[in-house]
Amino acid sequence: MDPKLGRMASSLLALLLLLEGGMFSASPPAGLERVFRHIELQQDAFVQTLKEWVAIESDSVQPTPRFRQELFRMMAVAADELRRLGASVDSVDMGSQQLPDGQSLPIPPIILAELGNDLKKPTVCFYGHLDVQPAAWGDGWLTDPYTLTEVDGKLYGRGATDNKGPVLAWINAVSTFQALEQDLPVNIKFILEGMEEAGSIALEELVQKEKDRFFSGVDYIVISDNLWVSRKRPAVTYGTRGNSYFTVEVKCRDQDFHSGTFGGILNEPMADLVALLGSLVDSSGRILIPGIYDHVASLTEEEKNMYKSIDLDLEEYRNSSQVKKFLFDTKEEILMHLWRFPSLSIHGIEGAFDEPGAKTVIPGRVTGKFSIRLVPHMNASVVEKQVKHHLEDVFSKRNSSNQMAVSMVLGLPPWIANINDSQYLAAKRAIRTVFGTDPDMIRDGSTIPVARIFQEIIGKSVMMLPLGAVDDGEHSQNEKINRWNYIEGSKLFAAFFLEIAKLHE
């Protein structure tokens, strides 16, 4: 195809997607007209850069030398991109990671970059990650996950929405001001890591170390690492749930038993464990651990009204989730139980026979795994005591001769921000400028520790400003970002720079 025709087709497709979304971008303010036009004209180049980044198999989950080399390559490419913007870049050596099998692998560097140090301007720090979840063409992908493929305006590829696309959208916004020789309205700092999908190894220690250096002049922190709850309407995220992850082990002995030889004459560990796990939550989803709801924040009328305005098509959500029926019938109930109430999920049993076939074994030792998503104002240490007391009480009533041990292996608190903070108001205004609508104000039911880390250590305003649509499929097969979201998201970040600058005029 002729390149000019290709660009025309891409632009037309972007317009059609805009119309399909039911939103028209408002006329941009005078200072943004050229910026938005430049982004539209450069969209094919921006997509090409995303393609080059997606092609790097920066998988941090599988601890192999090949993938670790790819991670180092990805961080080097990003550092070079930032240097081309004129940023000062420090790739911080994070040492090595010791694996359970005794293997040692180097941890990819964390990038700290700065662009501008005008004391009259506010400083915005952007966090992003460049590592991805595992992906393989034979695992349900319709295209090669590491070859960005556009189909009907959708850009398919691992990392397209999580999180390479949003990182590049921020870079696109910065580079546009430079290309037009316009003064960047704010000072910019970047913190980019390559181990987020593997638990952000060493990130918290670095943030603590750099608190009074790299982060000393930061006024606002922006994270763009989650999704809208709609395919059409943008969102701002102001809270996430925490997570307490537990194991409960029931042991008779280290060896398994033959059920024909021992069945009927001993307390079977699996029977004890099933009873313990069955005591945690009822069929309506209510957690049965005494006192677990005592510290959950009260629901205010203001908060309740926020759920009513959120754009969530419940029927579409149910169908896309391939769930026959949810536990709750209304949009408001669904959202509240995803975001602002705790939930308990049972994840699996270690030590049990789970292979095909019929093996008549009695496991000698089994370990159940479950987690509780925490919400304000729950405390992980209090929850740990409540869980242990409950399971000990249930176990004692069984009069079992087995041994039980309960451990909390992870205790991450929830995060919530003030939606009336000036940064959130600036983001709302930028969204109205680009999308012509007010955003959904949402929380995220999952746990994103980095938001809490920044808020607690640095003590500055933290906001999550997602770009991807609800159906982007992060972590899943056929992950994608819509071309429209990627390009309009680049405009959003540019508009956000101007709105933040206005706060300091």
Closest CA to 247 of 120, 128, 365: 365
Six-digit token string for 243: 């997570």
CA distances from 42 to 2, 264, 392 (A): 17, 73, 62
Catalytic residue among 59, 131, 193, 272: 131
Six-digit token string for 430: 């930028």
Instruction: Return the amino acid letter for 358.
Output: A
C-alpha–C-alpha distance, residues 356 and 344, integer Å: 28
Instruction: Return the amino acid letter for 110.
Output: I
- Do residues 166 and 487 make contact, with C-beta atoms less than 8 angstroms apart? no
Task: Supply the DSSP symbol for 164.
Answer: I
Does the annotation mark 101 as catalytic? Answer: no
Find the radius of gyration of the CA atoms of the chain. Answer: 25
Closest CA to 333 of 358, 310, 356, 366: 310
Strand partners, 237: 442, 464
Residues 6+ apart with CB under 8 A from 403: 249, 250, 251, 252
- Do residues 86 and 128 make contact, with C-beta atoms less than 8 angstroms apart? no
Task: Return the half-sphere exposure (C-beta side, CA atoms, 13 A cut-off) of residue 162.
Answer: 27
C-alpha–C-alpha distance, residues 244 and 371, integer Å: 5
Q: Which strand (E) or helix (H) includes residue 281?
A: none
Longest dimension (CA), the chain: 84
162 labeled binding residue? yes
CA distances from 208 to 201, 311, 410, 456, 478 (A): 13, 38, 20, 10, 37
225 labeled binding residue? yes
Catalytic residue among 114, 193, 196, 210: 196
91 φ/ψ angles, rounded to the nearest 5 degrees: -95, 105
Q: Alpha carbon 463 to chain centroid distance?
A: 13
144 labeled binding residue? no
C-alpha–C-alpha distance, residues 345 and 370, integer Å: 6
Does the annotation mark 196 as catalytic? Answer: yes
- Do residues 127 and 454 make contact, with C-beta atoms less than 8 angstroms apart? yes
Query: Omega of the bond prior to 377 within 30 degrees of 0, cis?
Result: yes
C-alpha–C-alpha distance, residues 123 and 300, integer Å: 34
Q: Which residue is associated with the tokens 């918290």? A: 204
129 labeled binding residue? yes
333 labeled binding residue? no
Residues contributing to the annotated binding site: 129, 162, 197, 225, 475
Give the active site residues: 131, 196
Residues contributing to the annotated binding site for Mn(2+): 129, 162, 197, 225, 475
